Each structure stands twice: as structure tokens, then as C-alpha cells.
């Protein structure tokens, strides 16, 4: 049977760091409130030249270098984003062009904060079906462009950035049984008005702003996240105590801690970067993964659970052996 093995990882952040203290110049907030409610200390905010595609390209180049590959080796590009450079063409083909790729194919996926989990599951399916051999999976966002900078309940929570992984096909017996082991995806559109953007091409004709019922999101988050993680554990036939690392979507430290506690996973096994990056939506998991791989925490052969929940609501988990 064909499996998908991660053979490269990369990340990219905008140059500008914005502290909680700096946000006090825009809205009535405080470093203490933001840290206590979310765990966020700072976020990276893109300037005009930095876009979702440029950040995605930089993360892709970093992942290619890490894998020792070139764009010629890639046959599919999947980009998870809710903040594309243009309504069309897809950010994936924009990045393809930036990388000098005119072969293969590419498309975007939109599942908001769960986008990376959806994208890596989709890429895995292409590889298992034999329709792609090496897939560049990118999560890239410029959520700062969607924020209402006068709304203190949302503007303090998000940041910009990009992360990328390269999946490649491995046959049974290759690569020490590394690769994607299980996945569980869910969505429930009855929650679509709890976290959304109040604009769009087909409605207002402008891009709109992010709106959120924060408490409603919080109320559902831990239950939804733990359900899909348990489904992935069941599919793989392993238990939480056998897990090497949990790499959650980085929205809020309290949601991360609540989920880990419910699953019986100690915080020493959880990768947390929300303090540094804030919520970068579809980019948050690959950014956190890249951090923990590059600093040596995640080691070859360890099991890693990725999970996310976001607007829609969408939610999902992917279990892999690194
Ligand atoms: N600074 C200071 N005070 C604030 C701020 C702020 N930035 N934002 C809100 N407040 C005030 C409110 O106005 C309110 O004041 P009031 O009591 O005088 O009316 C008070 O703080 C409490 O507000 P709540 O909304 O009840 O605060 P809560 O404890 O629920 O925390 C938060 C808000 C952090 C948004 C929380 O609900 C949360 O984390 N929700 C999850 C949302 C999330 O993570 N979304 C990300 C996208 S989805 C995802 O990625 C999972």
C-alpha cells in the first residue's frame, strides 16, 4: 500500500512583530488581558509587499531546501488559505508561478483554521490513489487584512504567516513505516454565523471583516477537537499515552490546555507557539510543526497528532509518524 511521508518542512513570517503593548495604541486593551485570556504575547503582521502568496512561496522554498528537493520534483501544490492574494486565480498557481513550475497542478482549499488539516488529508488521498508522488502542502494567511482594527474582541487574536510540508509517496516496507496513519474531518454549517467574514464577492462586493461570537466558539472548541482526535486514535488503534506530540491549531492557550487535559495528554507533549505567532489560521499548524522540528523536539519515528477547529464550524485531526 502507498503511504504519504513528510520529507520536508518550512515556514515564513512577516518582518514586523507587533506586541500586545503596541495594540493599546489602537484599542482599549492590555497586555495582561490578552495574555490571561489567550496566551498571546505578540504576532507578526505583513506589510504591503508581504502577501499570502509571497509568505507561502518563502515557506515552500524553506521546505524544499529542508527536503533537498527542487520545484521540478513537485507534482501537486495545495494551498490552505482564507486570505488569497486574488479572488482568482488560486494562490496555489500564484505560488507555482513564483517557484517557476509550469508542470503538475495546484488548487486552494478553504476550511479557515482547519484548512491545513483538510489540505494535508486531501494531499494524502492523492498520493494513496497514485495520482501524485510529491505534494507541496502550504498553509498561508494574511488575516490582518480581514481584521476590524477598531474591534478589540477580535483584532488582538490574529497574526500572519505561512508554513509548508512536502509529502512524498512511500511503499510498504520503505521508510520505517513513517507517514500519515489516520485522519478525521468534520464540519457543521449550522454554526456558520458564529465566526465569519461579513463581506464577499457575491454579497457585499468588498472583502469585509472578521466577526466572531468568541464565547460560542470557545464553548464548542474543546468537545469538537477531542472528538476528532479520539476518532483518529481509534482509526490508528493507538491510545493517547502512546502519542509523541500534539501539535494543535494555535488559537488560544486555554483551548489547547483544555483539549490536552480532556485527552490526558501532558502539556510537556504539546507544542505551543500561540504566544509568539497568535492565531494564523491555516498557517498555525505548519508554523508550530516547523518550530518543534527545527528546535529538535519532534524526532523521527515519533507519532504526531495535528488538530484544528475553525469557522464553519470545521474541525479535524491527522495522526502521522514523523
Ligand atoms: N481587551 C480588553 N478587554 C476585552 C477585550 C480586549 N482585547 N476583548 C473583550 N474584552 C472585554 C469584553 O468587552 C468584556 O467586557 P464586559 O464584561 O465589560 O462586557 C470582557 O472583556 C469579557 O469578554 P468575553 O468575550 O466574555 O471574554 P472571554 O473570557 O470569553 O474571552 C475570547 C474572549 C478570548 C475571545 C474567548 O471567548 C475565546 O478565546 N474564544 C475562542 C475564540 C477563538 O479562539 N477564536 C479564534 C478563531 S476560531 C479558532 O481558531 C478555534
pLDDT tens profile 282-319: 999 999 999 999 999 999 999 999 999 999 999 999 99
**Percent of the chain with pLDDT strictly greater than 90:** 98
- How do the pLDDT tens digits run along the chain, 322 residues long? 899 999 999 999 999 999 999 999 999 999 999 999 999 999 999 999 999 999 999 999 999 999 999 999 999 999 999 999 999 999 999 999 999 999 999 999 999 999 999 999 999 999 999 999 999 999 999 999 999 999 999 999 999 999 999 999 998 766 668 999 999 999 999 999 999 999 999 999 999 999 999 999 999 999 999 999 999 999 999 999 999 999 999 999 999 999 999 999 999 999 999 999 999 999 999 999 999 999 999 999 999 999 999 999 999 999 999 9
**49 Cα distance to chain centroid:** 22
Residue 151 contacts by C-beta under 8 Å, 6 or more apart in sequence? 27, 209
- Confidence (pLDDT) at 244: 97
Q: Identify the residue whose C-alpha is closest to ligand 1 atom 41.
A: 218
**Residue pair 119/76 in contact by the 8 Å Cβ criterion:** no
Do residue 86 and residue 193 come from a single domain? no
> How far apart are alpha carbons 65 and 63 in whole angstroms?
5
Atom of ligand 1 nearest to the CA of 254: 39
Residue 124 DSSP label = H
Where is the domain boundary, 127, 145, 174? Answer: 174
Supply 233's cell numbers. Answer: 486514535
Selecting among 20, 94, 252, 279, the annotated active-site residue is: 279
Q: What is the CATH number of the domain that holds 78?
A: 3.40.47.10
Do residue 200 and residue 219 come from a single domain? yes
Do residue 16 and residue 157 come from a single domain? yes
CB of 308 sitting under 6 A from ligand 1: no
Do residue 30 and residue 111 come from a single domain? yes
Ligand 1 pocket test, candidate residues 18, 23, 24, 37, most atoms within 8 A of CB: 37
Do residue 55 and residue 160 come from a single domain? yes
Q: What is the DSSP string of 28-75?
A: S--HHHHHHHH---EEEE--TT--HHHHHHHHHHHHHHHHT--GGG--
Do residue 231 and residue 100 come from a single domain? no
Where is the domain boundary, 154, 174, 194? Answer: 174
**pLDDT tens digit sequence for 167-194:** 999 987 666 689 999 999 999 999 999 9
By residue range, what is the domain housing residue 248? 177-321
- Confidence (pLDDT) at 171: 81
Do residue 31 and residue 164 come from a single domain? yes
Atom of ligand 1 nearest to the CA of 156: 7
CA of 120 to the centre of ligand 1 (A): 30
> How far apart are alpha carbons 79 and 84 in whole angstroms?
9
Q: Identify the residue whose C-alpha is closest to ligand 1 atom 34.
A: 37
Do residue 30 and residue 112 come from a single domain? yes
CB of 214 sitting under 6 A from ligand 1: yes
**Which H helix or E strand runs over 139?**
strand 134-142
Q: Structural domain tally of the chain?
A: 2
Q: Identify the residue whose C-alpha is closest to ligand 1 atom 32.
A: 214
Establish whether this prediction's ipTM goes over 0.90: yes
Would residue 279 show up in a list of annotated catalytic residues for this protein? Answer: yes
Where is the domain boundary, 123, 144, 174? Answer: 174
Do residue 23 and residue 160 come from a single domain? yes
CB of 274 sitting under 6 A from ligand 1: no
Do residue 151 and residue 226 come from a single domain? no
Would residue 113 show up in a list of annotated catalytic residues for this protein? Answer: yes
CA of 33 to the centre of ligand 1 (A): 9
CA of 151 to the centre of ligand 1 (A): 11
Would residue 193 show up in a list of annotated catalytic residues for this protein? Answer: no
> How far apart are alpha carbons 22 and 3 in whole angstroms?
46
CA of 29 to the centre of ligand 1 (A): 11
Do residue 181 and residue 110 come from a single domain? no
**29 Cα distance to chain centroid:** 27
CA angle 204, 140, 51 (to 5 degrees): 70
Amino acid at each position: 500500500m502507498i503511504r504519504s511521508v513528510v520529507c520536508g518542512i518550512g515556514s515564513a513570517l512577516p518582518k514586523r512583530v507587533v506586541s500586545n503593548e503596541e495594540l493599546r495604541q489602537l484599542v482599549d486593551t492590555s497586555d495582561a488581558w490578552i495574555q490571561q485570556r489567550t496566551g498571546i504575547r505578540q504576532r507578526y503582521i505583513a506589510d504591503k509587499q508581504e502577501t499570502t502568496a509571497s509568505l507561502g512561496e518563502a515557506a515552500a522554498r524553506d521546505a524544499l531546501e529542508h527536503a533537498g528537493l527542487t520545484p521540478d520534483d513537485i507534482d501537486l501544490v495545495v494551498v490552505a488559505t482564507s486570505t488569497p492574494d486574488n479572488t482568482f486565480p488560486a494562490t496555489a498557481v500564484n505560488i507555482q508561478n513564483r517557484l517557476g513550475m509550469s508542470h503538475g497542478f495546484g488548487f486552494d482549499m478553504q476550511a479557515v483554521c482547519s484548512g491545513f488539516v483538510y489540505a494535508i488529508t486531501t494531499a494524502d488521498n492523492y498520493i494513496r490513489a497514485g495520482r501524485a508522488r510529491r505534494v507541496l502542502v502550504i498553509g498561508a494567511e494574511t488575516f490582518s487584512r480581514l481584521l476590524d482594527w477598531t474591534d478589540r474582541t477580535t483584532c488582538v487574536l490574529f497574526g500572519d504567516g505561512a508554513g509548508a510540508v512536502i509529502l512524498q509517496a512511500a511503499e510498504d516496507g520503505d521508510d520505517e513505516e513513517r507517514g500519515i496513519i489516520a485522519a478525521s474531518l468534520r464540519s457543521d454549517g449550522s454554526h456558520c454565523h458564529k465566526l465569519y467574514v461579513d463581506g464577499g464577492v457575491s454579497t457585499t462586493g468588498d472583502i469585509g471583516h472578521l466577526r466572531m461570537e468568541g464565547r460560542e466558539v470557545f464553548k464548542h472548541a474543546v468537545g469538537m477537537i477531542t472528538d476528532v482526535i479520539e476518532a483518529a486514535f481509534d482509526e490508528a488503534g493507538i491510545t493517547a499515552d502512546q502519542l509523541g506530540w500534539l501539535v494543535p491549531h494555535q488559537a488560544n492557550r486555554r483551548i489547547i490546555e483544555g483539549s490536552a487535559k480532556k485527552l490526558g495528554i501532558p502539556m510537556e507533549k504539546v507544542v505551543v507557539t500561540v504566544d509568539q505567532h497568535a492565531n494564523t489560521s491555516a498557517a498555525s499548524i505548519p508554523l508550530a510543526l516547523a518550530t518543534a522540528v527545527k528546535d529538535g523536539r519532534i524526532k523521527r519515528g515519533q507519532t504526531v497528532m495535528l488538530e484544528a477547529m475553525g469557522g464553519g464550524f470545521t474541525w479535524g485531526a491527522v495522526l502521522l509518524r514523523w
